[in-house]
């Protein structure tokens, strides 16, 4: 594999989405009414959320955006927002293929549960063809979300999927690769996610996605996390080809297993109920915290603790990145509120 010692920074590509977040009193049955108490517009999609989170955390390395937006007001707003956050947009291109992707996010006020109505838009056509990884300066390429990028989810005769081909090209150029997956109720995970894992260094996803990809039921019938099944799922993802580490996050915290067999658990913060304004973006925030640590060469325990604190900050706002703070402010949340009981003790 080719190497390039001068690489520095993070390139994130994939879904660029505007979230239209509406707070509702209840999620209604069909043909019934729900009251909207407030609405706000925010970031959506793995690259958008992760890059903005890293910018707000104060990451002192270059941030690069890649993907498609439409030639419309929402697309222009995304590009301008990135520029304000000092995110390089050279690989974020406007396209005539479709309008900018958006999601109507219905968030129930009393419990923070979310329901998504998504328009795929321009993201469905992005293949990453403009990325010449030999010229990309970043040291990490984060791609998300698999299962929500139509052109990249297509089959590829040699690599399994077009996404796998793109990730392989990044690795060949000496770039570490990272992926995230969307949570959907389908049987497509093994077909679309698994082929990409052979070309992934860091696999960061939630417990639902890990379970659906590997076939393990990581939650018991009573809803409690099955930590034994979770470890098996992480092991299965590594066996599918992930080169370095699998990180699985969930409301109770996070878990990492390395190729060398190291296991690290991290409980989430003990936040007061009134602190949580919405859970949209918490997974991407956790991912941003972990990627920050991986880029900086921190040990896994520090990476996961950072991820937990960054995710907690995200919970303070109904949009995905509106609650993000500086790294020191996020870490102070852990000191202020403390952490839940050790997860491994739940076996």
Model pLDDT for residues 290-316, shown as the tens digit of each residue:
999 999 999 999 999 999 999 999 999
| pTM, entire model | 0.94
Q: How confident is the model at residue 37 (pLDDT cuts 50, 70, 90)?
A: very high
Tokens (6 digits) for 110: 């009393």
Instruction: Say yes or no to pLDDT of 33 above 60.
Output: yes
Instruction: Say yes or no to pLDDT of 345 above 70.
Output: no
β-pairing, 253-258 vs 263-267, is antiparallel
Q: Residue 150, exposed/middle/buried by CB under 10 A (0-12, 13-18, 19+)?
A: middle
- Whether residue 329 is contained in a domain is answered as yes
Tokens (6 digits) for 11: 């390139």
Q: How confident is the model at residue 346 (pLDDT cuts 50, 70, 90)?
A: low
Q: Which domain holds residue 88?
A: 10-346
Predicted confidence (pLDDT) per residue in 181-234, tens digit = 998 888 899 999 999 999 999 999 999 999 999 999 999 999 999 999 999 999
Instruction: Say yes or no to pLDDT of 5 above 70.
Output: no
What is the predicted pLDDT for the residue at 326?
98
Greatest distance between any 2 Cα atoms in the chain? 59
What would the mean pLDDT of 161-167 be, rounded to a whole number? 98
The verdict on whether omega for the bond into residue 217 sits within 30 degrees of 0, i.e. cis, is: no
- Whether residue 310 is contained in a domain is answered as yes
Instruction: Say yes or no to pLDDT of 112 above 80.
Output: no
- Whether residue 5 is contained in a domain is answered as no
Instruction: Say yes or no to pLDDT of 318 above 80.
Output: yes
- Whether residue 232 is contained in a domain is answered as yes
- Whether residue 4 is contained in a domain is answered as no
- What's the rounded Cα separation, in Å, for the pair 28 and 170? 45
What is the predicted pLDDT for the residue at 183?
87
Predicted confidence (pLDDT) per residue in 39-59, tens digit = 989 999 999 999 999 999 999
Q: Which long-range contacts (CB under 8 A, 24 or more apart) does 80-84 make?
A: 81/43, 81/52, 82/51, 82/52
Q: Residue 337, exposed/middle/buried by CB under 10 A (0-12, 13-18, 19+)?
A: middle
Instruction: Say yes or no to pLDDT of 3 above 80.
Output: no
Neighbours of 198 (CB within 10 A): 16
Predicted confidence (pLDDT) per residue in 65-107, tens digit = 999 999 999 999 999 999 999 999 999 999 999 999 999 989 8
What would the mean pLDDT of 242-253 be, rounded to a whole number? 98
- Whether residue 3 is contained in a domain is answered as no
Indicate the average pLDDT of the chain.
Answer: 95
- Whether residue 75 is contained in a domain is answered as yes
Instruction: Establish how many alpha carbons lie within 13 A of residue 330's alpha carbon, considering only the half-sphere containing its beta carbon.
Output: 29
Instruction: Say yes or no to pLDDT of 2 above 50.
Output: no
Domain count, the chain: 1
- Whether residue 1 is contained in a domain is answered as no
Give strand ranges (E) for 213-296. 245-250, 253-258, 263-267
CATH number of the domain residue 229 falls in: 3.40.1190.20
What is the predicted pLDDT for the residue at 191?
95
């Amino acid at each position: 594999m080719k190497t390039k010692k001068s690489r520095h920074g993070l390139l994130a590509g994939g879904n660029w989405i505007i979230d239209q977040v509406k707070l509702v009193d209840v999620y209604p049955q069909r043909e019934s009414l729900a009251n909207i108490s407030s609405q706000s517009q925010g970031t959506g999609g793995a690259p958008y959320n992760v890059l903005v989170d890293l910018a707000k955390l104060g990451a002192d390395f270059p941030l690069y955006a890649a993907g498609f937006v439409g030639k419309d007001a929402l697309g222009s707003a995304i590009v301008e927002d990135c520029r304000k956050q000092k995110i390089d947009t050279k690989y974020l291109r406007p396209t005539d293929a479709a309008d900018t992707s958006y999601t109507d996010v219905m968030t129930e006020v009393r419990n923070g549960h979310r329901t998504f109505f998504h328009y795929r838009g321009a993201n469905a056509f992005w293949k990453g063809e403009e990325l010449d990884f030999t010229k990309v300066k970043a040291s990490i390429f984060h791609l998300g979300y698999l299962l929500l990028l139509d052109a990249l989810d297509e089959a590829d005769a040699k690599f399994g999927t077009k996404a796998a081909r793109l990730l392989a090209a990044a690795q060949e150029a000496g770039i570490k690769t990272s992926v995230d997956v969307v949570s959907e109720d389908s049987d497509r995970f093994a077909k679309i996610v698994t082929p990409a894992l052979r070309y992934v260094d860091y696999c960061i996803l939630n417990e639902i996605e890990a379970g659906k990809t590997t076939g393990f039921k990581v939650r018991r019938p009573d809803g409690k996390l099955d930590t034994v099944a979770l470890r098996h799922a992480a092991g299965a993802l590594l066996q599918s080809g992930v080169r370095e580490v699998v990180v699985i996050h969930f409301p109770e915290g996070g878990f990492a297993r390395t190729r060398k067999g190291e296991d690290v658990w991290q409980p989430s913060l003990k936040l007061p109920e009134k602190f949580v304004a919405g859970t949209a973006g918490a997974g991407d925030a956790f991912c941003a915290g972990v990627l920050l640590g991986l880029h900086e060469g921190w040990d896994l325990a520090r990476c996961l603790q950072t991820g937990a604190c960054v995710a907690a900050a995200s919970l303070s706002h109904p949009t995905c990145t509106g609650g993000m703070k500086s790294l020191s402010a996020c870490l102070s949340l852990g000191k202020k509120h403390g952490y839940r009981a050790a997860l491994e003790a739940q076996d």
